[in-house]
A and B are shown apart, each in its own frame.
Chain A
């Protein structure tokens, strides 16, 4: 008789991670803070604790003492599939790991479990399965042309051929949120900081694939990371600036792993760069804006890499701006709902979490909700619109540019362009409606 095989395998896990499943004390601290558990009306299957417990049970059924003596116990495929779906109902925001008394590194654990289940044939979830093909073939997840990487660049923006500083634009800011790329570039120009960009040589940072457990498919994120690092190195970059928190996180944590060691340049987020310039006395505010604002810490900038104070420092220095904190801020912030592939894969969940975060912001009485990540900005705009909340949503860089007396206007917005293309706070532009489709004769 053939020996029974375990229903699951241990691919993609380190020994430490398999130990972490056994380290959960089931105290439920993670449950109190999990944004997707809240958004899913406190469905127990979504609890981080419950997921740890279920995989631990799978492991024990497959490789525990009883399995060693009597052979592995069969786990029905539907049970594994259900677990997989619940696992993808997570933005990998890392809140569970932050509050875990046992210090379990949940972000890495969820990503490894996802990769394991993708290899098993259970993951990813919904449209997330398009990421590998899109990013592999187009080097961006939006089906855009590489030639259009600098489509956002306006006449007034000066980009150097060679400079110590490089601006890594990112797919979202480059194609869909041009207000962010023009604002970043104009700030650098105004500060007389020469910068270069990779342009057509810039590839997707790979974050979407890693977060959804698909990094092994064609090795795309690894190849993309090596390509970007080598391209930046070849151009002589000493510092690389990111205005996208997702790309920054990838460059800070994921790229060195792919590259096999320390990157040959320093990476920093635009908020860190602005705080640095502020300290050096180089930023001169030219406008005052009497507004109360609240700041949303992007998970990829805050909890994942620990940048909490620099964006606040910049906001506090702005004339007329009063910063009010949301009840959940810094490392206890509630996720916007877009990360971990949720925006693409489970849009209704992304929307529900965004609604909760916008509600947090509205509760402060602030007139504007500021973030430092284009992905957060997009999802929070969706939350604001669904709730019809009286609050504007924008990026720290856009607000900075405006108060430095710079235009945040992009090239004429294309008809029917997404709302996040232009500034939400400074409505100097409007998006023309999409022309009606001609009826086929």
Chain B
């Protein structure tokens, strides 16, 4: 084990058998919690009994209804709304330029990091299991993504910085809402994700990950407390907690835009 308080020659991590495998377990639990949460929300929405009907449609009925409503005006309209309203937030851009910039930085920073993580994970799987090669393939993919990773990371930081500045110095209508302070949970949560994420990245760079990966796979830095904390916190906060929190709107607002065809 790489670091931590040593007791009788062993770190607390070693004693508690905490290593990168915890992250894998938490990831599975987080995804399950996310799915359960979404099912509970769908069940709630599926309780609706519109005028002229007598029975609620249930969770799967709601899902079916939402999907069919998205495509009710054709694939072309769906794609238009997906690109212009969901990806580029046209409606926010029309009226709130500063908020739009903040949202775009956070949204695209986040999406970018997510996509790169998925690509890296796919490469990690593809190398040894499909290509039949060692970790070199994964390392080459990872290294080629470094620049983009930095870019999306800085976008996320800039977006969060804007959110904090707005909240502290501009008293917009969003801050006047009842229980508006709840938004600090999101801002602080994302800040923790970003700060620990950059710290983890620093450790990777300092250890020259490509060398570490080859000699010791999976690399020991995954067992670093901050790195583990970063991974676990991100999974719990951004995946498991999402359907149970006020931040559910991150899912439902784009869905609403899609089912309402951009809010026409």
A and B from one assembly?
yes
Pick out which of these stretches binds chain A: B88-96, B125-133, B197-205, B227-235.
B88-96
Give the contacting residue for B256; candidates A11, A50, A98, A102; CB below 8 A: A102
Interface residues of A in 1-36 (CB under 8 A from B): 10-20, 22-29, 31-32
Closest to B92 in A: A101
**Are A15 and B256 in contact (CB-based, < 8 A)?**
no
Cα of A258 to Cα of B87 in the assembled complex, Å: 37
In the complex, per-residue mask of B38-65: 1 if CB is within 8 Å of any chain A CB, else 0: 0011011111111100001100011001
Q: B252 at the A/B interface (Cβ < 8 Å)? A: yes
A105 and B49 contact, Cβ closer than 8 Å, known pairs A15-B62, A27-B174, A64-B40: no
Count, chain A residues at interface, CB 8 A: 44
Whether the Cβ atoms of A26 and B174 lie closer than 8 Å is: yes
Whether B173 contacts A103 by the Cβ 8 Å rule is no
A30, chain B: closest CB distance, angstroms: 9
Contact mask B242-264 → A, CB, 8 Å, 1/0? 00100011001101110110110
Are the C-beta atoms of B48 and A27 separated by less than 8 Å?
no
Chain B residue with Cβ nearest A14: B50
| A-contacting 9-mer, from B2-10, B175-183, B206-214 | B175-183
B113 at the interface (CB under 8 A from A): no
Determine if A215 and B255 form an interchain contact, defined as CB atoms under 8 angstroms apart.
no
B66 interface residue, CB < 8 Å from A? yes
Q: What residue in chain B is nearest A42 (Cβ atoms)?
A: B176
Give the complex CA separation of A102 and B48 in angstroms: 20
Q: Which residues from A are CB-within-8-Å of B69?
A: 16
State the CA gap A25–B253 with chains docked (Å): 7
Which A residues are in CB contact (< 8 Å) with B183? 26
A255, B135: Cα distance in complex, Å: 66
Is B172's CB within 8 Å of the partner chain A? yes
B66 in contact with A15 (CB, 8 Å):
yes
The size class of the interface chain B forms with chain A is 35 or more
In the bound complex, do residue B249 and residue A18 qualify as a contact, i.e. CB atoms below 8 Å apart?
A: no
Residues of chain A lying within 8 A (CB to CB) of residue B91? 100-103
Residue ID in chain A nearest B49 by CB atoms = A11
A29–B95 Cα distance when bound, in Å, is 9
- Say whether, besides A12-B51, A15-B57, A15-B65, A104 and B256 are in contact (CB < 8 Å): yes
Q: Does A246 have its Cβ within 8 Å of any Cβ on chain B?
A: no
Q: Are B252 and A27 in contact (CB under 8 A)?
A: no
Nearest CB of B to A138, in Å: 24
Q: Does A383 make an interface contact (CB < 8 A)?
A: no
Q: Complex formed: what's the CA distance from A195 to B219 in Å?
A: 84
A165 in the interface (beta carbon within 8 A): no
Do B96 and A27 have beta carbons less than 8 Å apart? yes
Q: List 12 A-B contacts (CB under 8 A).
A: A10-B56, A14-B50, A15-B45, A15-B65, A18-B48, A19-B256, A20-B252, A22-B41, A26-B177, A65-B244, A101-B91, A104-B263
| A-B residue pairs, 5 tightest by C-beta | A103-B263, A28-B173, A15-B62, A102-B253, A23-B252
B interface residues with partner A (beta carbon < 8 Å): 37, 40-41, 43-51, 56-57, 61-62, 65-66, 69, 85, 89, 91-92, 95-96, 99, 172-174, 176-178, 180, 183, 244, 248-249, 252-253, 255-257, 259-260, 262-263
